């Protein structure tokens, strides 16, 4: 239906009377937390960036994140919902030396924009209130522009994160044998284009995650947290090696690591709270990407490898969450009413 066909008065009345759904609350909360984190990261980048083109790109990304924070805050205030604390100036260590190179900054923002396209798409598809749909539609468009600009900038600087190319088909084929998906013999057939795509995407995500965790492991304030980030870097490394092997076995190129784009600084530009939360964000993105890959894979050997990593990543995320709770850093998302607790409280008050 064309947007112009909507009755403006009916939409306005709809907005006044419709409460935000659980899905909308969940997506707005996670978006607020994410963009408040990214704002801090981008502010550090701006303090240390050297390349003028990269600086312009960082400023563009920072402007979007700040606007998202303000727009969501306005929605919460209108609904009389407490605005989350998130992250802010208290989580940035101004004057800290650069932890990552300019090229890492571009790679980081580009990959985050790529993930945001899927996150915002999911949020838009479950939103029902028009103002929330408008917000996420705009966020999708902004993420697309951020991703596009990042890809062009990476290419212009000599860094290509594109999927490998394969020969064009010259005829249409249909699979004739069940061995195409067999757990035993299916592994001998060439990778499909979709399998290459999913392997490449998961490798890129883990290349970013590994470098990020290495950087954080150099600057976290306690040995316990540094150890946690070292384990995260090791876990990403195992996934990169596992997925890249399938590409190299097919004589396809595998993306280069970006570990060299991490400096030797040991002075943290961020709070431990921000870095731990960022670790959980990275883990959640990894799990989401693996879920998508599982739904697309037809080679059982690769499916088995993906499934092997899922509980390990889940445990790693849970360990980070426990550390955040121990330090009092975990900001609870919106939850349903605890009816049992309310019932007990009501009984006490009546007594």
Ranges of H-type helices in 49-173: 52-78, 102-126, 130-156
Using DSSP, state whether 270 is helix, strand or coil: strand
| pLDDT > 70 in the chain, percent | 89
Residue 341 banded pLDDT, cuts 50, 70, 90: confident
What's the Cα-to-Cα distance from 176 to each of 173, 179, 180, 181, 189, rounded to whole Å? 9, 9, 8, 11, 13
d(CA 266, CA 47): 17
- pLDDT value of residue 186: 47
Q: Which of 254, 227, 224, 260 is nearest to 242 (CA)?
A: 254
| Residue 161: HSE in the Cβ half-sphere, 13 Å Cα cutoff | 26
Whole-number mean pLDDT of the chain?
Answer: 90
Of 123 and 160, more confident: 123
Say whether pLDDT at 15 is over 90: no
Q: Which of 104, 35, 108 is nearest to 70 (CA)?
A: 35
User: Is the CB of residue 35 less than 8 Å from the CB of residue 65?
Assistant: yes
R_g of the chain, CA atoms, integer Å: 23
Q: Which residues pair with 270 in a beta bridge?
A: 92
- pLDDT value of residue 308: 94
Please write the tens of the pLDDT for every residue from 153-176.
999 999 988 888 888 888 877 776
Q: Which of 327, 242, 326, 236 is nearest to 279 (CA)?
A: 236
d(CA 23, CA 121): 13
* pTM of structure: 0.89
d(CA 319, CA 290): 20
User: In which residue ranges of the chain is CATH 1.20.1260.10 found?
Assistant: 20-156, 187-326
Please write the tens of the pLDDT for every residue from 173-230.
777 666 666 555 446 678 999 999 999 999 999 999 999 999 999 999 999 999 999 9
Token pair of 30, please?
């996670």
- pLDDT value of residue 185: 47
Using DSSP, state whether 182 is helix, strand or coil: coil
d(CA 318, CA 308): 17
Over residues 60-85, mean pLDDT:
96
What letters, b where the CB count within 10 A reaches 16 and e where it falls short, cover 162-195?
ebbeeeeeeeeeeeeeeeeeeeeebeeeebeeeb
Q: What is the DSSP letter of 262?
A: B
User: Is the CB of residue 11 less than 8 Å from the CB of residue 131?
Assistant: no
Over residues 85-99, mean pLDDT:
95
**Is 187-326 assigned to CATH 1.20.1260.10?**
yes
Residue 141 banded pLDDT, cuts 50, 70, 90: very high
Q: Which residues pair with 100 in a beta bridge?
A: 262
What's the Cα-to-Cα distance from 17 to each of 20, 25, 79, 92, rounded to whole Å? 10, 16, 11, 40
d(CA 217, CA 209): 12
CATH architecture, domain defined by 20-156: Up-down Bundle (1.20)
Find how far residue 70's CA is from the centre of its chain.
21
Q: Which residues pair with 262 in a beta bridge?
A: 100
């Amino acid at each position: 239906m064309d947007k112009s066909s909507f009755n403006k008065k009916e939409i306005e009345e709809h907005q006044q009377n419709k409460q935000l759904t659980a899905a909308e609350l969940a997506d707005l909360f996670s978006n607020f937390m994410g963009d408040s984190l990214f704002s801090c990261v981008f502010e550090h980048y701006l303090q240390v960036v050297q390349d003028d083109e990269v600086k312009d790109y960082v400023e563009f990304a920072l402007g979007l994140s700040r606007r998202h924070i303000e727009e969501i805050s306005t929605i919460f205030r209108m609904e009389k919902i407490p605005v989350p604390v998130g992250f802010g100036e208290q989580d940035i260590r101004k004057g800290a030396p650069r932890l990552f190179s300019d090229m890492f900054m571009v790679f980081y923002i580009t990959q985050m924009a790529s993930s945001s396209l899927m996150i915002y798409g999911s949020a838009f598809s479950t939103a029902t209130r028009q103002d929330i749909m408008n917000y996420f539609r705009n966020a999708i468009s902004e993420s697309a522009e951020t991703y596009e600009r990042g890809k062009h900038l990476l290419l212009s600087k000599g860094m290509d994160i594109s999927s490998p190319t394969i020969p064009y088909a010259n005829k249409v084929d249909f699979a004739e044998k069940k061995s195409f998906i067999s757990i035993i013999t299916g592994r001998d057939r060439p990778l499909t284009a979709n399998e290459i795509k999913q392997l490449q995407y998961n490798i890129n995500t883990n290349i970013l995650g590994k470098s990020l965790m290495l950087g954080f492991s150099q600057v976290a304030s306690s040995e316990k947290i540094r150890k946690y980030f070292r384990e995260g870097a090791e876990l990403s490394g195992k996934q990169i090696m596992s997925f890249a092997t399938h590409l190299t076995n097919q004589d396809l190129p595998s993306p280069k690591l970006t570990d060299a784009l991490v400096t030797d600084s040991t002075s943290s530009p961020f709070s431990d709270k921000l870095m731990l939360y960022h670790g959980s964000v990275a883990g959640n993105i990894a799990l989401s990407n693996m879920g998508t890959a599982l739904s697309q894979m037809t080679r059982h050997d690769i499916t088995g490898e993906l499934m092997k990593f899922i509980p390990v990543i889940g445990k790693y995320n849970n360990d980070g969450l426990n550390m955040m709770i121990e330090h009092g850093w975990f900001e609870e998302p919106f939850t349903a009413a605890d009816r049992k607790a309310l019932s007990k409280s009501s009984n006490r008050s009546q007594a």
